[in-house]
Structure 1
Amino acid sequence: MKRHQAREAAFQILFQMDMNDVEPKEALAAFAENQQIDTFTSRLVEGVYEHKQEVDEKIIEKLENWSFQRVAAVEKAILRIAVFEILYIDEIPKKVSINEAVELGKKYGDDHSGRFINGVLSKIDE
């Protein structure tokens, strides 16, 4: 599985976790019933879950004129993955994490999601 596909799977799993309030092991197992999960997907899902407070705080710091509660669930899941990558996975360049997040936003979000995600992530310090 390519990393782009792994990120997309992680997004889908994290989105379901938020919607259904389930733990990573349960969400990963449910997803694995229909689709293969690779180690990068698991690393993203478990890492975002483990560092959710720090990741969310970093996102909240960079929001301008917008509350975290108003951020759509799709955008939250995408932002969490990218911020986790930027903060905790050194071998992935920041611009790659941002580009991947913007593409996911364009695919799963609304017309403004890509621009919103790019604006938030471009302010994140490594």
Structure 2
Amino acid sequence: MNRRVARLRAAQALYQMDLAHTEPESALESVLDDGEVASDFLNELIYGTLKNKEQIDQLITENLTGWKIERMGHVDRAITRMALYEMLYIEDIPVNVTFNEAIELAKAFGGDESGKFINGLLSKSIEKMNQ
């Protein structure tokens, strides 16, 4: 499983956990295709995001203008959380790679404005992280 597929599966699982309060193991199992095995990277994205969710949500909240995190769409919230986890805690992946992958996921699976919304939110978050 390459990293692009792992990000997609992780976003799907995080979305499911956020929307339906599904347990991580069950959500992970439900997003894998028949015969597909979760990669270490996929597991790290899911469990790392969950472990650091409080800090990640704080960063999201600090960078939302005129919004509350609860108002974000579930897809946008899952992608943003996962991307910020990757940017903050996985050192061997360039931030711009994670940034671009998150925007592509948002365009593909979010609402009409998801790509722009996540672009702006991640840009503000990156600026804050680099201060």
Normalising by the smaller structure, the TM-score range is over 0.9
**Equivalence map 1:111-126=2 (5 Å):** 111-124=112-125, 125=129
What percentage of aligned pairs have identical amino acids? 42
Contact 2:11 2:79 in 1 (8 A): yes
CA distance in 1, matches of 2:9, 2:116: 22
Letter in 2 for 1:57: Q
CA distance in 2, matches of 1:105, 1:117: 7
Letter in 1 for 2:14: L
Letter in 2 for 1:15: Y
Count of aligned residue pairs for this structure pair:
126
CA distance in 2, matches of 1:13, 1:22: 9
For residue 123 of structure 1, give the secondary structure of its aligned residue in structure 2: helix
CA distance in 2, matches of 1:33, 1:25: 15
1:97 corresponds to which residue?
98
CA distance in 1, matches of 2:32, 2:72: 28
Deviation at 1:26, TM superposition (A): 2.7
Deviation at 1:19, TM superposition (A): 1.7
RMSD: 1.4
Using structure 2 for the length normalisation, give the TM-score: 0.89
Deviation at 1:66, TM superposition (A): 1.2
Change (3 A) 1:93 1:21: same
Letter in 1 for 2:104: E
CA distance in 1, matches of 2:74, 2:18: 8
**Equivalence map 1:27-46=2 (5 Å):** 27-32=27-32, 34=34, 36=36, 37-46=38-47
Deviation at 1:28, TM superposition (A): 2.0
1:61 corresponds to which residue?
62
Deviation at 1:32, TM superposition (A): 4.0
Deviation at 1:33, TM superposition (A): 6.5
For residue 92 of structure 2, give the secondary structure of its aligned residue in structure 1: coil
Structure 2, gaps ≥5 residues long: none
Structure 1, gaps ≥5 residues long: none
